[in-house]
Amino acid sequence: MSSFNVRRIRADIPLLQREINGRKITYLDSGASSLQPHAVIDAMSRYYELRHANVHRGVYQTANEATEAYEGSRAAVALFLNAPGGADEVVFTKNTTESLNLIAKTWGADHLAQGDVVLVSEMEHHANIVPWFQLREATGVEVRFIPVGDDYRLDLTKLDELLDGVKLLSVTAMSNVLGTKNPIAELAEAAHRVGALIAVDGAQSIVHGVTDVQELDIDFLAFSGHKMLGPTGIGVLWTRESVLDTMGPFMGGGGMIADVRVDGFTPAKGVARFEAGTPPIAESVGLRAAVRYLTGLGMENVADHDHELTVDALTRLESSFDGRVRVIGPSDTKDRGGVISLDVEGVHPHDVAQVLDQFGVCVRPGHHCAKPLMKRFGLAATARASFGPYSTTRDTDVLLEALTSAVSMFG
Amino acid sequence: MSSFNVRRIRADIPLLQREINGRKITYLDSGASSLQPHAVIDAMSRYYELRHANVHRGVYQTANEATEAYEGSRAAVALFLNAPGGADEVVFTKNTTESLNLIAKTWGADHLAQGDVVLVSEMEHHANIVPWFQLREATGVEVRFIPVGDDYRLDLTKLDELLDGVKLLSVTAMSNVLGTKNPIAELAEAAHRVGALIAVDGAQSIVHGVTDVQELDIDFLAFSGHKMLGPTGIGVLWTRESVLDTMGPFMGGGGMIADVRVDGFTPAKGVARFEAGTPPIAESVGLRAAVRYLTGLGMENVADHDHELTVDALTRLESSFDGRVRVIGPSDTKDRGGVISLDVEGVHPHDVAQVLDQFGVCVRPGHHCAKPLMKRFGLAATARASFGPYSTTRDTDVLLEALTSAVSMFG
Amino acid sequence: MSNLEDLYREIILDHYRSPRNRGELPSPPAHKVEGFNPLCGDEVTLYLDVHDGVLSDIKLTGHGCSISQSSSSLMSAAVKGKPLNDVNATIETFKQLMTGHESALTTEEEADEEVDLRTLGELAALQGVVKFPVRIKCATLAWNALRQGLDEIANQN
Amino acid sequence: MSNLEDLYREIILDHYRSPRNRGELPSPPAHKVEGFNPLCGDEVTLYLDVHDGVLSDIKLTGHGCSISQSSSSLMSAAVKGKPLNDVNATIETFKQLMTGHESALTTEEEADEEVDLRTLGELAALQGVVKFPVRIKCATLAWNALRQGLDEIANQN
Ligand SMILES: Cc1ncc(COP(=O)(O)O)c(C=O)c1O
Ligand SMILES: Cc1ncc(COP(=O)(O)O)c(C=O)c1O
């Protein structure tokens, strides 16, 4: 872990210097959104200060610089994912949600029809469920769910049956509620065996370990800038070039056309086809800075660090509170990331989070946009603590201290 | 013009301090994207440094602050537009293009059918044409064009005929090629008379004068942050509340639902229904700062300043170059904003822009995403100079100097 | 920790642990109305008996956080057996108590209107919620359902 | 102003003002292929006559900026009457000249490969374009069309 030094990372993140209610902030909500290092924030400020212009259509110097910045970000993301087709496979969107909708509303609408099956899982975020329900309304496709077992992992015992008639398997690489990491390479192989494509929701996994789309052999990958130390307002849809070429346009407008006449239009080729209007230019600069920052840390190191924190936290949570605090997620820490959902006996997650706030501890209560999963486990909500690359066992110390207070307050 | 002081505004804009090819930058591409004052850039940096968190679902302090920042931006935009229903009518999107697509893909798809007519104009940006063509492909609506006269203004002589069967009139308030400002209040009245709604593309007009949606009596308004001194990555769709309530959801995902079950979902009420996934939070903070900045200048003052610059530039362009430089746009400066498209005899717009760049002058060559309009006037492209609140007659001086060089180089 | 104690006053924890008027009423004749907060999943179901302009009985079920549950319990205690005029007035006063902050979102400059806390009795314990904007929705959940239920009853007649 | 003079060399302005090989060939037998740059609207149409492995004639029409028009004119002069092997080699060399910059976008670190300018003749005048990345598309428009046209011809046989 030569280049990975948590103290140095923490010094890079301005928000970690903040005090909340008289205590240094303990940020444990990276699953909802990560914090940004100076490098990311400053890259965007510098962009606005020095080279902002609209992209693609200018010939003057700052327009060139802005275009190079934007296209350079595309290339940097492609490199980060080891995209076989390079930058030509990286579409910038607004967030993971738009990326997944883009798949459903272009590829899905073009290639799927009544009777075809989209297979998702019971642990999906709404962003990977609702677009398929909308597609079902529009085209009559079937949306089928891979069940989640009592061990909080995908129950793949009947995968062959589940795959019957499936044209697309769309599944999260890591649950934002359970921390479960799913066997994506194995699922990709199974999907391809029946001639289906596989889309992966990488919103959580992207900042918890290495993502190599060639090694995973997947077809689509969706994720957001703001969960990987980058800015809000930008997301990515990576798509294998051979698939991308079969997808019709998405939004209509400037930049996505080859020609517009009063009687019709011709869409542009390549990723431009999916990027109508002025794109998130400054945000792409911020995302590139985040990618550079993460690459500097080394994603293997980030994953190791996350694993250590998770093992430590799970062990300590289990040995405290006399069973009053239950972890909703795998206890086996293999293929498990640092997202820890808690069910505190007799204390509603909102109240847990409220008490924790008093200690400067930021955790998120709620259904985490995964209502089908919540229902599966008979819960309305959990209080979720989630780690980022800048988290430490000291954060877990404060979490435990604050939880003790919550338990006793409502005891 | 007490509060309007161009020198002070220029000092607020870091990019205006930049040198290009040894000369101070002469930024005349605000029609493509405006420059940002420190206040906007710093508001976003401070947001990331102090209060970034995901919105809506957190109870801890920074999550509250982020939510208040985001919702506060919504309220600030509502105030800026004099929205009758306040913040409940302001949807944040990615850009103008997404806002217009949202109208077409929700309201349009729900309310329009084969035989219904969407009336646009020949001077629309592709963002206000292609979505309607897409709707035509999906539903068979007719897309009809209001012609543009030789005076570069809408030809409304046959408006009554054109309005026959129209359910939606969707038109730009100001052309991004011609500078023409259209009579929106009059068009709104005409549309309402036949029971149609009116959508307005405010991408250009928003920063060229006061926009009061009640006074205009319109139903939809679309615009972008990046053209009004704000950041990239955010746009606005304002919609009259009574209309908004009749619109189905757009993207599917987190935040836009009331409930998700394995067998279906129920969309949320209000603006949330259209904002799936993590919204552009930092961008909303930047947009609010831009709104505050513009309000401080006074939009009437901004409009007066723009008018003065336009009159001056048109007069000087006409008296120079012996007719070799033609302005593609109204010569009558009433209802005409500071967007000046040039056709230079014997010099392709790309070459014009290239030579101008050597003088540090930023103008944009091309079809400006308005190909039907270009075709109407038999042009492939123009070189477009456009003013912002920070522009001065000194900018026009340098423009003329550089144009002289371009003309002689290819002479 | 004073803010937190202000939020979780003893009376609130008491109503959370021992909610009043919990249960159902046969419906009909009782009017049943549901409140739901999609953001956090809190739910409340009210059963309302109105006779001769009086809210003669109220029962409720539901689940959620201490604020939403205690607020519904406190509400039921405050309005049970009261003439509708008084109930309406209590709803209004309570909403005013809660909107001090919400309206601040809309127009930053607007000054909070003062609410006469004496008219609220035990309900005044919920005052601390205003300092926690996201929790206001929890506190008002049952009240919005009550407002809706009474309106529905009025429209039936 | 040296960059600009590097871009607009006299030879380029000359080919822009007096384009070579302008016109059409009867098609068929000539192969017709179109190039189009959606961003700026530049267009070029090529007419290619290939006989016995030789590009025996080429004509072109189109409109656009000085770079796209002079590049197509210079190209036509360079490839007309040449064996296809030579034509292919010229296309490759020209593309290499132009991609110095484009590839820099993909991998910042990659060093520009050196192109032997002597093999290019008059075409070397277009070298200045590399310093103006957005104009590269203008310069390569006709060349991409030529590549496409020759591929189409090869596939027909
Ligand atoms: C009139 C008009 N409409 C729409 C747009 C599209 O705006 P955006 O690219 O921000 O979506 C523009 C900007 O180019 C415009 O000038
Ligand atoms: C697994 C998963 N998918 C999708 C999303 C949606 O991401 P965004 O809100 O950035 O669109 C999230 C974030 O909440 C997530 O955790």
- Any residues with CB less than 8 A from the CB of D56 and at least 6 apart, and which? D49, D50, D81
Among A12-26, A253-267, A304-318, B328-342, the minimum mean pLDDT is found in: A253-267
Nearest to A362 among B14, B60, B231 (CB): B60
Residue of D107 and D54 predicted with greater confidence: D54
A358 CA to centre of ligand 1 in angstroms: 45
Q: Specify the pLDDT at position B2.
A: 52
The candidate with the shortest Cα–Cα distance to B50, out of A233, A35, A384, is A35
Residue C38 contacts residue C95 (beta carbons within 8 Å): no
Across the strands, what pairs with B90? B238
Nearest to A97 among B58, B277, B280 (CB): B277
CATH number at C10 reads: 3.90.1010.10
A272 conformational bin, left if phi > 0, alpha if psi -120 to 50, beta if neither:
alpha
The candidate with the shortest Cα–Cα distance to D85, out of D53, D133, D44, is D53
Could you tell me the CA-to-CA distances from B239 to A74, B75, B88, B223, D48 in Å, in that order?
Answer: 34, 14, 9, 12, 55
Torsion of CA B109, B114, B118, B122, to 10 degrees: 120
Q: Specify the pLDDT at position C117.
A: 65
B222 CA to centre of ligand 1 in angstroms: 9
Does any ligand 2 atom lie closer than 6 A to the CB of residue A116?
no
CA distance linking residue B268 with residue B248, whole number of Å: 10
Residue B64 contacts residue C133 (beta carbons within 8 Å): yes
Among A350-359, D100-109, D116-125, the minimum mean pLDDT is found in: D100-109
Does any ligand 2 atom lie closer than 6 A to the CB of residue A96?
yes
Q: Specify the pLDDT at position C106.
A: 40
Across the strands, what pairs with C48? C31, C58
Q: Specify the pLDDT at position D128.
A: 86
Query: Is residue C104 very low, low, confident or very high in pLDDT (cuts 50, 70, 90)?
Result: very low
- The sign of the dihedral angle between the CA atoms of A266, A268, A269, A273 is negative
Name the 3-class secondary structure at B8.
helix
CA distance linking residue D153 with residue D27, whole number of Å: 13
The two structure tokens encoding residue B116: 């219904």
Residue A189 contacts residue A215 (beta carbons within 8 Å): no
Average pLDDT over residues A9-25: 96
Q: Specify the pLDDT at position A322.
A: 92
Whose tokens are 């110097």? That residue is A61
Ligand 1 atom at shortest distance from the alpha carbon of B97: 11
The two structure tokens encoding residue B254: 């987190």
CA distance linking residue B141 with residue B118, whole number of Å: 7
The two structure tokens encoding residue D103: 């590839």
Q: Assign 3-state DSSP to chain B and report helix, strand, coil percentages, each to 5.
A: 45, 20, 35
As a whole-number percent, the residues of chain A with pLDDT over 90 amount to 94
pLDDT digits (tens, 9 = 90+) for A135-148: 999 999 999 999 99
- Catalytic, A369? Answer yes
| Residue C38 with chain B: CB contacts under 8 Å | 257-259, 268
Nearest protein CA to atom 12 of ligand 1, as residue? B203
Nearest listed ligand to the Cα of residue B31:
1
pLDDT digits (tens, 9 = 90+) for D48-90: 999 999 999 999 999 899 999 999 999 999 999 999 999 999 9
| Residue B358 with chain D: CB contacts under 8 Å | 1, 3-4
Q: Specify the pLDDT at position B228.
A: 98
CA distance linking residue B333 with residue B232, whole number of Å: 30
What is the distance in angstroms between the Cα of C52 and the nearest Cα belonging to chain B? Answer: 35
CA distance linking residue B199 with residue B120, whole number of Å: 10
What is the distance in angstroms between the Cα of A129 and the nearest Cα belonging to chain C? Answer: 17
pLDDT digits (tens, 9 = 90+) for B302-353: 999 999 999 999 999 999 999 999 999 999 999 999 999 999 999 999 999 9
Q: Is 90 exceeded by the pLDDT of residue A166?
A: yes
Q: Specify the pLDDT at position D112.
A: 45
Query: Could you list the residue range(s) of the whole structural domain that residue C69 is in?
Result: 2-156
Nearest listed ligand to the Cα of residue B34:
1
CA distance linking residue A16 with residue B140, whole number of Å: 55
Residue B56 contacts residue B255 (beta carbons within 8 Å): yes
Q: Which residue is closest to D2 within chain B, CA to CA?
A: B358
CA distance linking residue D153 with residue D157, whole number of Å: 7
| Residue B98 with chain A: CB contacts under 8 Å | 94, 251, 276-277
Residue C72 contacts residue C104 (beta carbons within 8 Å): no
- Type of residue at B162: L
Instruction: Give me the CATH topology for the region B42-296.
Output: Aspartate Aminotransferase; domain 2 (3.40.640)
Contact call for B367 and D8, based on CB within 8 A:
no
Residue A226 contacts residue A33 (beta carbons within 8 Å): yes
Residue A193 burial (C-beta neighbours within 10 Å; 0-12, 13-18, 19+): exposed
Average pLDDT over residues A113-118: 97
Whose tokens are 């601040």? That residue is C104
Query: Is residue D102 very low, low, confident or very high in pLDDT (cuts 50, 70, 90)?
Result: very low
Q: Is 90 exceeded by the pLDDT of residue C135?
A: no
Residue B347 contacts residue B410 (beta carbons within 8 Å): yes
Nearest protein CA to atom 14 of ligand 1, as residue? B32
CA distance linking residue A406 with residue A400, whole number of Å: 10
In the predicted model, residues of chain B with pLDDT beneath 70 are: 1-2
Average pLDDT over residues C24-33: 92
| Residue C133 with chain B: CB contacts under 8 Å | 64, 67-68
Q: Specify the pLDDT at position D116.
A: 63
Q: Specify the pLDDT at position B207.
A: 98
At CB < 8 Å, which residues of chain C contact B? Answer: 36, 38-40, 105-108, 132-135
Ligand 2 atom at shortest distance from the alpha carbon of A32: 14
Whole-prediction pTM value? 0.93
Across the strands, what pairs with A327? A342
- Any residues with CB less than 8 A from the CB of B375 and at least 6 apart, and which? A261, A262
pLDDT digits (tens, 9 = 90+) for B282-304: 999 999 999 999 999 999 999 99
Nearest protein CA to atom 12 of ligand 2, as residue? A203
Q: Specify the pLDDT at position C54.
A: 96
Whose tokens are 């029809």? That residue is A113
B363 CA to centre of ligand 2 in angstroms: 39
Element (H, E) at B26: strand B26-27
Nearest to A282 among B94, B231, B279 (CB): B231
Query: Is residue A131 very low, low, confident or very high in pLDDT (cuts 50, 70, 90)?
Result: very high
Mean pLDDT of all residues belonging to chain A:
96
Instruction: Give me the CATH topology for the region A6-30+298-409.
Output: Aspartate Aminotransferase, domain 1 (3.90.1150)
Q: Specify the pLDDT at position D122.
A: 85
Residue B396 contacts residue B316 (beta carbons within 8 Å): yes
Name the 3-class secondary structure at B381.
coil
Domains identified in chain C, total number: 1
Outline which parts of chain B fall under CATH 3.40.640.10. 42-296
The two structure tokens encoding residue C62: 């539901």
Q: Is 90 exceeded by the pLDDT of residue C40?
A: no
Q: Is 60 exceeded by the pLDDT of residue C109?
A: no
Residue C93 contacts residue C63 (beta carbons within 8 Å): no
Does any ligand 2 atom lie closer than 6 A to the CB of residue A95?
yes
B50 near A CB under 8 A: yes
What is the distance in angstroms between the Cα of D1 and the nearest Cα belonging to chain B? Answer: 7
Q: Give ligand 1 pocket residues (Cβ under 6 A).
A: A 254, 277-278; B 95-97, 125, 127, 172, 176, 201, 203-204, 224, 369
Three-class SS of chain A: CCCCCHHHHHHHCHHHHCEECCEECEECECCCCCCCCHHHHHHHHHHHHHCCCCCCCCCCHHHHHHHHHHHHHHHHHHHHHCCCCHHHHEEEECCHHHHHHHHHHHHHHHHCCCCCEEEEECCCCHHHCHHHHHHHHHHCCEEEEECECCCCCECCCCHHHHCCCEEEEEEECECCCCCEECCHHHHHHHHHHCCCEEEEECCCHHHCCCCCHHHHCCCEEEEEHHHCCCCCCCEEEEECHHHHCCCCCCCCCCCCEEEEECCEEEECCHHHHHCCCCCCHHHHHHHHHHHHHHHHHCHHHHHHHHHHHHHHHHHHHHHCHHHCEEECCCCCCCCECCEEEEEECCCCHHHHHHHHHHCCEECEEECCCCHHHHHHCCCCCEEEEECCCCCCHHHHHHHHHHHHHHHHHCC
What is the distance in angstroms between the Cα of A45 and the nearest Cα belonging to chain B? Answer: 6
The residue among B345, B351, B355 with the most chain D CBs within 10 A of its CB, best to mutate, is B351
Q: Specify the pLDDT at position A2.
A: 52
